[in-house]
Amino acid sequence: MICTYETDHYGFHYLKGSLAQRDIAQIAERQERCFDRICDCLNIKYSKKIGYWFYNSPQLLGNAFFDGALCNGVSITGAQDRDIGKIVSLSGEEEDSFAVEPYSIHAVYEERIKCIGPHEDTHVIAAQLFEPSSAFLCEGLAMMMDGSWWGIKNKLWARYYKDGGEFVPAHDLINCPEEAFYGLEGRITYPVAGAWTEYMFQTFGKEKYMRFYCGDGTAQMATDVFGKSLPQICREFEAWLSELPFSEEQRREIGKRLGK
């Protein structure tokens, strides 16, 4: 049985007896704080209500959207999304089925994986401004709002990969087709995208960066907005990474998270 919990900006949906039901008041409070922070950061007055659907496992969410491939969270950003109208189920049973709606988030919430926070919300809210064709830009904005990957700051992951030879240049990722981007290792691309976006906000300011973002992140837009070529900006980003304070303890912690 699907239950619903309404707030000012969300409609939360979950299975009766689930962990999400137990924690729903705290979840709702956290997401409302995330909503306010995202809208404030992006200068958006977001008027649509966001539907939030909680699944009890990555398998159930993967069955709903990705032919069984495991997934922790997915956002439906607008009426053009190919999944709009698709019939999915929270439990895998017909009685818990519903049609996917625009401006909705589908996320796992269980003991080990709790896919809440600002990431998927950023995708939905930012789409009111513009949705770039570059997955790197979309994920970078969401990762910047997250601030970290597996509890460690994005920029430290990016520094680790740069020092270790696994770094993928931001310039290559910006121009990477969506399918190719998501085919790369997310443990590398996601924190690099978040670190790059943080650098751009700090270096050029929010207004200029969002002009670039809403211009689809093209090379010409970079020159027009920042007065520098995209390759030059990306080289300066890598230099910034190299100058970050990065202790051996932090390096070991990342290695440990990667099982090294």
pTM: 0.94
Check residue 174 and give its pLDDT. Answer: 92
CB atoms within 10 A of CB 60: 22
- Note the Cα 211 to chain centre separation in Å: 20
CA dist., res. 13 & res. 20, Å (int) = 9
- CA 129, 144, 120 angle in degrees (round to 5)? 60
Check residue 129 and give its pLDDT. Answer: 87
Q: Which residues of the chain, if any, have pLDDT below 50? A: none
Instruction: Determine whether 75 is exposed, middle or buried from the number of CB atoms within 10 Å of its CB (0-12, 13-18, 19+).
Output: buried
**For 116-161, what is each residue's pLDDT tens digit?**
999 999 999 999 889 898 999 999 999 999 999 999 999 999 999 9
Check residue 67 and give its pLDDT. Answer: 87
